[in-house]
Amino acid sequence: MTTPSHPVHPGPPPHDPPGPGTAPHARRTPPGRAGVREHAPDGPTSRPRPLLPRPARSEEERDDGVVRSVAELVARVRDGGYGPDPRGERIALAFTTAQAVRHEGRAGGYRNEVLSLRLAAAVGSCAVEPGTLPATALDEVVGASVADLLDHPLRPVRIAALDAYLAHVRPHTPAHGARSYPLPAGGSLDRSRARARAVVDLLPRHGPRRVLVVGVVNSLLEQLRRRGIDYLPCDLKGGATEWGEPLHTDALALLEECDAVLASGMTLGNGTFQPLLDHAAATAKPLVMFAQTGSAVLPRFLGAGVSAISAEPYPFFWLDGGPGVIHRYGGPL
């Protein structure tokens, strides 16, 4: 979420402008119903709901090993499909990470806040809208079992707990399909651009013509511009990109206008991941996820609509200037 950033004020392009002739313009559409935002936890107008009872699965769904919804993934975790009983796995540590950023050369800044839960050596995370996490949330989750937290009334807690469990039992290693990608040491903007290259490289090599970007990160848009790829930028908060292009607020209304999707893992945290997954599965469009939120959750959806993932578990690239690593799944080799 990741954390993905959304611009605060429109303005001129960053220091290194896109190459000549490769600066597409986002299409304008009137704002519609609520869309997808990078950091959109459940708030007063969107109260989180406890997970529904475990869905019934057909024989085909049970046999092919593919999960097609978060609810089904949670059911498999509860059933022991990934190993240890979550009733016996307890969260030892809970913490939040908050930051404010305004990169040199950028016209606007952004804020991030992330809830993280530690299970043994693994950390699971979910971004939240800054300032909206209840003050009692951390005290409520420490010492609780993963099974209990999967029923927590706050969706970010549920996603962070699921992420921590899956990071514990399915770490980002080659044995589980991950390919490590080193991020160089350097400034925050340099590292953001390096990560953006790694994410955009996961799109098909012979490239989509127009990409729906769900959860706007200016460095990602910059990469698309450099490669001559048109895009539709979408963020619930609205506003404009670094290049003054209006941000759409309804991602779902634009799905028919793109031939690939780049989406933030925060769609897990605001409950809008499922429509993107269903659309990609039904149309075979590439769906590339870039994830600090749910970095261990999203690899479970490879083959069910997700075509590639850039997974970035805690600690995130923006926390320090040293070398780091992200983990890529799927996409071109």
How confident is the model at residue 45, as a pLDDT? 29
What is the predicted pLDDT for the residue at 185? 94
Is the pLDDT reported for residue 14 higher than 60? no
Q: Band of the pLDDT at 247, cuts 50, 70, 90?
A: very high
In this predicted structure, what is the pLDDT of residue 9? Answer: 33
**pLDDT-derived band at 142, boundaries 50, 70, 90:** very high
| 124, β-bridge pairs | 117
Most confident of 11-20, 21-30, 106-115, 218-227: 218-227
- pLDDT for position 101: 76
- Residue 53 pLDDT: 39
Percentage of the chain surpassing pLDDT 70?
78
DSSP 53: S
Mean pLDDT for 4-17 is 36
Give 69 or 5, the one with higher predicted confidence.
69
Give me the pLDDT at residue 107, please. 63
- pLDDT given at position 238: 84
Residue 27 has pLDDT above 90, yes or no: no
Predicted pLDDT of residue 236? 81
- The mean predicted confidence, pLDDT, of the chain is 83
Residue 65 has pLDDT above 50, yes or no: yes
Least reliable range by pLDDT among 50-54, 176-180, 317-321, 329-333: 50-54
Contact 99, 111 (CB under 8 A): yes
Q: What is the mean pLDDT of residues 155-162?
A: 97
Residue 3, pLDDT above cutoff 50? no
- Give the per-residue pLDDT at 106: 64
Spatial separation of the C-alpha atoms in residues 253 and 315, rounded to whole Å? 34
- Phi and psi torsions of 275, nearest 5°: -60, -35
Residues 274-285: tens digit of each pLDDT: 999 999 999 999
Q: What does the pLDDT read at residue 267?
A: 95
At 239 the pLDDT is: 87
Distance CA 248, CA 70 (A): 26
pLDDT at 100: 82
DSSP-based three-state secondary structure for 328 = strand
Question: What are the angstrom distances between the C-alpha of 104 and each of 14, 68, 108?
Answer: 8, 41, 10
**Bigger pLDDT: 76 vs 188:** 76
Q: What is the mean pLDDT of residues 281-308?
A: 97
* pLDDT band, residue 110 (cuts 50/70/90): low
Residue 57 has pLDDT above 60, yes or no: no
Please give the DSSP secondary-structure letter assigned to residue 26: P
pLDDT digits (tens, 9 = 90+) for 193-233: 999 999 999 999 987 999 999 998 899 999 999 999 999 99
* 312, pLDDT greater than 60: yes
Helix (H, G, I), strand (E, B) or coil at 149: helix
